[in-house]
Amino acid sequence: MKPMFKIENQASGKTFLTDGDDSILSDALLHGLNFPYGCQKGFCGKCKATIIEGEIGYENGVPNGITSEEIDDGMALLCQCRAKSDVLLAVAELDSAFDIEVRNLPCKVQTINHLNHDVVQVFLKIPGAQSLQYLAGQYIDLIHPDFDPRSFSIANAPINSDVIELHVRLVEDGKFTHFVFVKLKEKSLLKIEGPKGNFFFREESKRPVILVAGGTGFAPIKSIIEHAITTQLERQIYLYWGVRDEVDLYMDLPFKWADDHNNIHFVPVLSEPNAAWQGRVGFVHESVLADFDDLTGYEVYACGPPVMVKSVAKSFVEQGMIRDNFFSDAFVFAYTTSHE
Higher-confidence position of 329 and 325: 325
pLDDT at site 337:
38
Percent of the chain with pLDDT over 70: 95
Q: From CA 43, how far away is CA 131, in angstroms rounded?
A: 11
Express each pLDDT in 197-255 by its tens digit: 889 999 889 999 999 999 999 999 999 999 999 989 999 999 999 999 999 999 999 99
**Residues 48, 75 contacting (CB under 8 angstroms):** yes
pLDDT band at 169 (very low <50, low <70, confident <90, very high): very high
pLDDT at site 97:
67
Phi and psi based region of residue 54 (left: phi greater than 0; alpha: psi -120 to 50; beta: remaining):
left
Q: Does pLDDT of 59 surpass 70?
A: yes
pLDDT band at 93 (very low <50, low <70, confident <90, very high): confident
Express each pLDDT in 107-139 by its tens digit: 999 999 999 999 999 999 998 778 899 999 999
Whether 98-196 shares its CATH topology with 209-332 is answered: no
pLDDT at site 130:
80
Q: Could you tell me the residue ranges of all domains in the chain?
A: 5-90, 98-196, 209-332
58-67, 214-223, 273-282, 289-298: the lowest-pLDDT one: 58-67
287 contact partners, CB below 8 Å, separation of at least 6: 240, 242, 267, 269, 280
Q: Does pLDDT of 39 surpass 90?
A: no
Q: What is the DSSP secondary-structure string of 258-289?
A: HHH-TTEEEEEEESS--TT--SEES-HHHHHH
SS3 117: coil
**Residues 172, 183 contacting (CB under 8 angstroms):** no
pLDDT band at 340 (very low <50, low <70, confident <90, very high): very low
Q: Does pLDDT of 336 surpass 60?
A: no
pLDDT at site 57:
94
pLDDT at site 96:
66
Mean pLDDT score, 14-41: 88
**72 backbone dihedrals φ, ψ, rounded to 5°:** -65, -30
Q: From CA 220, how far away is CA 154, in angstroms rounded?
A: 6
Q: What angle do CA 99, 105, 219 make, to 5 degrees?
A: 70
Pick the CATH number of 98-196 from 3.30.565.10, 2.40.30.10, 3.40.30.10, 3.40.50.300: 2.40.30.10
pLDDT at site 1:
78
pLDDT at site 160:
60
103-112, 158-167, 304-313: the lowest-pLDDT one: 158-167
Q: From CA 312, how far away is CA 302, in angstroms rounded?
A: 7
Pick the CATH number of 209-332 from 3.40.50.80, 3.40.50.1470, 3.30.1330.10, 3.90.1150.10: 3.40.50.80
Phi and psi based region of residue 172 (left: phi greater than 0; alpha: psi -120 to 50; beta: remaining):
beta
User: Shortest CA distance to 139 belongs to which of 307, 330, 324?
Assistant: 330
Q: From CA 11, how far away is CA 42, in angstroms rounded?
A: 23
Question: How far is Cα of residue 149 from the mean position of the Cα atoms in its chain?
Answer: 20
Q: What pTM did the predictor assign?
A: 0.81
pLDDT at site 190:
95
In the chain, DSSP assigns E strands to 5-9, 15-18, 48-53, 56-58, 75-77, 81-83, 87-90, 103-114, 119-125, 139-143, 150-153, 163-169, 189-196, 209-214, 237-243, 264-270, 280-281, 299-303, 326-327
Q: Does pLDDT of 185 surpass 90?
A: yes
Task: For domain 5-90, say whether CATH 3.10.20.30 is its number.
Answer: yes
pLDDT band at 52 (very low <50, low <70, confident <90, very high): very high
Q: Does pLDDT of 333 surpass 60?
A: no
4-13, 24-33, 252-261, 322-331: the lowest-pLDDT one: 322-331
Mean pLDDT score, 183-196: 94
Q: Does pLDDT of 46 surpass 90?
A: no
pLDDT at site 332:
40
Q: From CA 38, how far away is CA 320, in angstroms rounded?
A: 41
pLDDT at site 166:
97
Mean pLDDT score, 34-42: 83
Q: From CA 73, how far away is CA 76, in angstroms rounded?
A: 9
Mean pLDDT score, 267-294: 96
Q: What angle do CA 221, 148, 309 make, to 5 degrees?
A: 30
